[in-house]
């Protein structure tokens, strides 16, 4: 079974530029999550999708971050404009159901904003 695929693996941009991350979840998984993991901390949930609808985006900085899940499968997370404090690993995860089900994580995209 293929795992959660993310791209790119690494990205370096200057502040005020824009960047996009892509995620392909495990086939058949209805729930998709985006997390931000700052160095030395645990993952922080940014947004949760159930199929192509948003379940929770309470911690997404909506003035600069946006996310969409096309046709309930792939998802993109965008930052525009980027700030220095956005430097982090962005993790995508998927699960078959919403609550109380195992989440499978991708390897993440390491973003460095200079």
Partner 1 sequence: GENVEQHPSTLSVQEGDSAVIKCTYSDSASNYFPWYKQELGKGPQLIIDIRSNVGEKKDQRIAVTLNKTAKHFSLHITETQPEDSAVYFCSYDKIIFGKGTRLHILP
Q: Judged by CB under 8 A, does residue 57 bind partner 1?
A: no
Q: Judged by CB under 8 A, does residue 95 bind partner 1?
A: yes
- In terms of Cβ atoms closer than 10 Å to its own Cβ (0-12, 13-18, 19+), residue 27 is exposed
Residue placing its CB nearer to partner 1 in the complex, 74 or 81: 74
User: Could you give the dihedral angle defined by the CA atoms of residues 85, 86, 87 and 91, in that order, rounded to the nearest 10 degrees?
Assistant: 140
> Which one of the spans 20-28, 43-51, 66-74, 79-87 is the region binding partner 1 (CB under 8 A)?
43-51
Buried b / exposed e over 31-52, threshold 16 CB at 10 Å, is bbbbbbbeeeeebebbbbbeee
Q: Judged by CB under 8 A, does residue 63 bind partner 1?
A: no
Bridge partners (DSSP) listed for residue 5: 24
Residue placing its CB nearer to partner 1 in the complex, 71 or 99: 99
Tokens of 112: 């460095």
Q: Judged by CB under 8 A, does residue 91 bind partner 1?
A: yes
* The only residue of 45, 52, 61, 64 in contact with partner 1, by rule CB under 8 A: 45
Alpha carbon distance 27, 2 (integer Å) = 8
Q: Judged by CB under 8 A, does residue 99 bind partner 1?
A: yes
Which residues bind to partner 1, rule: CB under 8 A?
Answer: 4, 33, 40-45, 56, 91, 93, 95, 99-108
């Amino acid at each position: 079974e293929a795992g959660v695929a993310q791209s790119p693996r690494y990205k370096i941009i200057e502040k005020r530029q824009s960047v996009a991350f892509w995620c392909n979840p495990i086939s058949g998984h209805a729930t998709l999550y985006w997390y931000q993991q700052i160095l030395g901390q645990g993952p922080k949930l940014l947004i949760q999708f159930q199929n192509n609808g948003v379940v929770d985006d309470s911690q997404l900085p909506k003035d600069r971050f946006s996310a969409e899940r096309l046709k309930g499968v792939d998802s993109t997370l965008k930052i525009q404009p980027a700030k220095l404090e956005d430097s982090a690993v962005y993790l995508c995860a998927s699960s078959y159901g919403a609550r109380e089900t195992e989440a499978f994580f991708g390897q993440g995209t390491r973003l460095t904003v200079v």
